[in-house]
Structure 1
Amino acid sequence: MSKKYVYLFSEGNANMRELLGGKGANLAEMTNLGLPVPQGFTVTTEACTRYHEDGQKIASEIVDEIYAAMEKVEKIVGKKFGDLENPFLVSVRSGARASMPGMMDTILNLGLNDVAVKGLAKQTNNERFAYDSYRRFIQMFSDVVMEIDKTKFDAILDDVKEKNGAKADTDLTAENLKEVVERYKELYKKEMGNDFPQDPKVQLLESVKAVFRSWNNPRAIVYRRLNDIPGDWGTAVNVQAMVFGNMGDDSGTGVAFTRDPSTGEKKLYGEYLMNAQGEDVVAGIRTPEPISHLQNTLPEIYDQFVNIAQKLEDHYRDMQDMEFTIEKGKLYMLQTRNGKRTAKAALKIAVDLVNEGKLTKEEALLKVEPKQLDALLHPAFDPKALKAADPIAKGLPASPGAAAGQIYFTAEEAVEAGKNGQKVILVRLETSPEDIEGMHVAEGILTGRGGMTSHAAVVARGMGRCCVAGCSELTINETEKYFIAKGKKYNEGDFISLDGSTGYVYGESIATQPPAVSGDFATFMEWADATRTLKVMTNADTPKDAAQAVKFGAEGIGLCRTEHMFFDETRIPAVREMIVARTEEQRRKALAKLLPIQKGDFKGLYEAMEGRPVTVRLLDPPLHEFLPHEDDDIQDLAKEMGLDFEELKGIVQSLQEFNPMLGHRGCRLAVTYPEIAEMQARAIIEAAIEVKQEKGYDIVPEIMVPLVGEVKEFSYVKEAIDKAAKAAMEDKGVDIDYKVGTMIEVPRAALTADEIAKEAEFFSFGTNDMTQMTFGFSRDDAGKFLEDYYSKSIFESDPFAKLDQKGVGKLVNMAVELAKPVNPEIKLGICGEHGGDPSSVEFCHNIGLNYVSCSPYRVPIARLAAAQARVKEILNK
Structure 2
Amino acid sequence: MTKWVYTFGGGRAEGRASDYERLGGKGANLAEMCTLGLPVPPGLTIVADACDNYYKNGRKLPEALKGEVAAGLLQMEAITGRRFGDTSKPLLISVRSGARVSMPGMMDTVLNLGLNDQTVQALGHDAGDARFAWDSYRRFIQMYADVVMGLDHEVFEEILEDEKAHLGHALDTDLSAVEWQHVVSRYKAVIEEELGEAFPQDPEVQLWRAVGAVFASWMSARAVTYRLLHNIPETWGTAVNIQAMVFGNLGNTSATGVAFTRNPSSGENELYGEFLVNAQGEDVVAGIRTPQSITEAGRIASGLERPSMEKLMPEAFAEFRHICRQLEAHYRDMQDLEFTVERGTLWMLQTRSGKRTTKAALRIAVDMVADGVITEDEAVSRIDPASLDQLLHPTIDPRVNREVIGSGLPASPGAATGAIVFTAEEAVEAEAEGRKVILVRVETSPEDIHGMHAAEGVLTTRGGMTSHAAVVARGMGIPCVVGAGTMRLDTRNERLMGIGITLQRGDVITIDGSSGQVLKGEVAMIQPELSGDFGRIMGWADRSRRMTVRTNADTPADARAARSFGAEGIGLCRTEHMFFEGDRIQVMREMILAESEEGRRVALAKLLPMQRSDFTHLFTIMHGLPVTIRLLDPPLHEFLPKSDEEIAEVAAAMGMGAALLRQRVDALHEFNPMLGHRGCRLAISHPEIVEMQARAIFEAAIDAARETGAAVVPEIMVPLVGLRSELDYVKARIDEVAASVIGEAGMRIDYLVGTMIELPRAALRAHVIAEAAEFFSFGTNDLTQTTFGMSRDDAAAFIPTYQRKGIIEHDPFISLDFDGVGELIRIAAERGRQTRADMKLGICGEHGGDPASIHFCETIGLDYVSCSPFRVPIARLAAAQAAIKARG
Q: State the TM-score, normalized to the length of structure 2.
A: 0.85
Aligned AA for 2:329?
D
8 Å CA contact 1:93, 1:105 repeated in 2:
yes
**Residues 723/403 of structure 1: CA separation in 2 closer, same or farther (3 Å cut):** farther
Q: Distance in 1 between matches of 2:94 and 2:851?
A: 36
Q: Distance in 2 between matches of 1:497 and 1:639?
A: 40
1:351 and 2:366 equivalent? yes
Aligned with residue 210 of structure 2, among 186, 207, 220: 207
Aligned AA for 1:124?
A
1:313 and 2:328 equivalent? yes
8 Å CA contact 1:595, 1:679 repeated in 2:
yes
Q: Distance in 1 between matches of 2:35 and 2:809?
A: 36
1:142-157 alignment, distance < 5 Å: 142-157=145-160
1:175 Cα deviation from its structure 2 partner: 2.5
1:277 and 2:275 equivalent? no
Aligned AA for 1:329?
G
8 Å CA contact 2:508, 2:520 repeated in 1:
no
1:261-300 alignment, distance < 5 Å: 261-292=264-295, 293-300=308-315
Q: Distance in 2 between matches of 1:18 and 1:376?
A: 32
1:336-347 alignment, distance < 5 Å: 336-347=351-362
Q: Distance in 2 between matches of 1:737 and 1:496?
A: 49
Q: Counterpart of 2:622? A: 609
Deviations 1:723-746 (A, max 9, x none): 222222222221111111111111
Q: Distance in 2 between matches of 1:102 and 1:338?
A: 16
Q: Distance in 1 between matches of 2:524 and 2:182?
A: 52
Aligned with residue 553 of structure 1, among 566, 588, 593: 566
Aligned AA for 1:864?
L
**Residues 309/406 of structure 1: CA separation in 2 closer, same or farther (3 Å cut):** closer
8 Å CA contact 1:404, 1:495 repeated in 2:
no
1:367 and 2:362 equivalent? no
Q: Counterpart of 1:8? A: 7
Deviations 1:395-415 (A, max 9, x none): xxxxxx648999434xxx542
**Residues 553/403 of structure 1: CA separation in 2 closer, same or farther (3 Å cut):** farther
Deviations 1:567-621 (A, max 9, x none): 0112112111111111111111110110110011111111221221111111111
Q: Distance in 2 between matches of 1:424 and 1:130?
A: 52
8 Å CA contact 1:405, 1:497 repeated in 2:
no
1:828 and 2:841 equivalent? yes
**Residues 844/356 of structure 1: CA separation in 2 closer, same or farther (3 Å cut):** same
Q: Distance in 2 between matches of 1:207 and 1:91?
A: 10
8 Å CA contact 1:543, 1:608 repeated in 2:
yes
Q: Counterpart of 2:707? A: 694
Aligned AA for 1:729?
I
Aligned AA for 1:102?
G
Q: Counterpart of 1:739? A: 752
Q: Distance in 1 between matches of 2:768 and 2:227?
A: 40
Give the length in aligned residue pairs. 784
Q: Counterpart of 2:193? A: 190
Q: Counterpart of 2:491? A: none
Deviations 1:595-650 (A, max 9, x none): 11001111111122122111111111122211222334323432343221121111
Instruction: Tell me the secondary structure at the aligned position of residue 349 of structure 2.
Output: strand
The answer for unaligned runs of 5 or more in structure 1 is 381-400, 426-442, 444-464, 466-478, 483-492
Q: Distance in 2 between matches of 1:509 and 1:331?
A: 43
1:89 Cα deviation from its structure 2 partner: 0.9
Instruction: Tell me the secondary structure at the aligned position of residue 716 of structure 2.
Output: strand
Q: Counterpart of 1:415? A: 407
8 Å CA contact 1:254, 1:272 repeated in 2:
yes
Q: Distance in 2 between matches of 1:151 and 1:519?
A: 49
1:798 and 2:820 equivalent? no
Q: Counterpart of 2:319? A: 304
Aligned with residue 240 of structure 2, among 237, 241, 246: 237
Aligned with residue 770 of structure 2, among 749, 757, 763: 757
1:805-816 alignment, distance < 5 Å: 805-816=818-829
1:863 and 2:862 equivalent? no
Aligned AA for 1:793?
G
**Residues 129/403 of structure 1: CA separation in 2 closer, same or farther (3 Å cut):** closer
Aligned with residue 639 of structure 1, among 639, 642, 652: 652
8 Å CA contact 1:517, 1:552 repeated in 2:
no
8 Å CA contact 2:802, 2:808 repeated in 1:
yes
1:379 Cα deviation from its structure 2 partner: 3.1
Q: Distance in 1 between matches of 2:86 and 2:225?
A: 41
8 Å CA contact 2:84, 2:90 repeated in 1:
yes
Instruction: Tell me the secondary structure at the aligned position of residue 634 of structure 1.
Output: helix
Instruction: Tell me the secondary structure at the aligned position of residue 793 of structure 2.
Output: coil
**Residues 497/300 of structure 1: CA separation in 2 closer, same or farther (3 Å cut):** farther
**Residues 42/701 of structure 1: CA separation in 2 closer, same or farther (3 Å cut):** same
Deviations 1:352-397 (A, max 9, x none): 11110111111121211111111111137xxxxxxxxxxxxxxxxx
Instruction: Tell me the secondary structure at the aligned position of residue 362 of structure 2.
Output: helix
Q: Distance in 1 between matches of 2:707 and 2:46?
A: 70
Q: Distance in 1 between matches of 2:345 and 2:570?
A: 61
Q: Counterpart of 2:393? A: 378
Aligned AA for 2:139?
R
Q: Counterpart of 2:50? A: 47
Aligned with residue 724 of structure 1, among 728, 737, 759: 737
Instruction: Tell me the secondary structure at the aligned position of residue 764 of structure 1.
Output: strand
The answer for unaligned runs of 5 or more in structure 2 is 296-307, 418-456, 458-478, 480-497, 502-506
1:117 Cα deviation from its structure 2 partner: 1.3
Aligned AA for 2:755?
T
Instruction: Tell me the secondary structure at the aligned position of residue 8 of structure 1.
Output: strand
Aligned AA for 2:214?
V
Q: More displaced, 82-91 or 636-645?
A: 636-645
Q: Distance in 1 between matches of 2:388 and 2:722?
A: 37
Q: Counterpart of 1:134? A: 137
Q: Counterpart of 1:247? A: 250
Q: Counterpart of 1:620? A: 633
8 Å CA contact 1:404, 1:423 repeated in 2:
no
8 Å CA contact 1:38, 1:243 repeated in 2:
yes
1:506 Cα deviation from its structure 2 partner: 13
8 Å CA contact 1:255, 1:321 repeated in 2:
yes
Aligned with residue 163 of structure 1, among 142, 166, 171: 166
Deviations 1:527-578 (A, max 9, x none): 1000010111111111111111111111111111111111011211211111
Q: Counterpart of 1:256? A: 259
8 Å CA contact 2:760, 2:786 repeated in 1:
yes
Q: Distance in 1 between matches of 2:736 and 2:244?
A: 80
Aligned AA for 1:338?
S
Q: Distance in 1 between matches of 2:524 and 2:218?
A: 40
Q: Distance in 2 between matches of 1:294 and 1:519?
A: 35
Q: Distance in 1 between matches of 2:375 and 2:881?
A: 13
Aligned with residue 578 of structure 1, among 571, 588, 591: 591
Deviations 1:826-875 (A, max 9, x none): 11111111111111111110111111111111111111111111111222
Q: Distance in 2 between matches of 1:480 and 1:187?
A: 35
Q: Distance in 2 between matches of 1:35 and 1:72?
A: 18
Q: Counterpart of 1:120? A: 123
Q: More displaced, 528-537 or 81-90?
A: 81-90
**Residues 730/187 of structure 1: CA separation in 2 closer, same or farther (3 Å cut):** farther
Instruction: Tell me the secondary structure at the aligned position of residue 254 of structure 1.
Output: strand
8 Å CA contact 2:403, 2:520 repeated in 1:
no
1:172 Cα deviation from its structure 2 partner: 2.2
8 Å CA contact 1:666, 1:705 repeated in 2:
yes
8 Å CA contact 1:379, 1:402 repeated in 2:
no
Q: Counterpart of 1:462? A: none
Deviations 1:728-772 (A, max 9, x none): 222222111111111111111111111111211111111111111
1:67 Cα deviation from its structure 2 partner: 2.1
Aligned AA for 1:312?
L
What's the RMSD between the two structures over aligned residues?
A: 2.5
Q: Distance in 2 between matches of 1:494 and 1:688?
A: 45
Q: Distance in 1 between matches of 2:48 and 2:710?
A: 57
Q: Distance in 1 between matches of 2:374 and 2:97?
A: 30
**Residues 637/167 of structure 1: CA separation in 2 closer, same or farther (3 Å cut):** farther
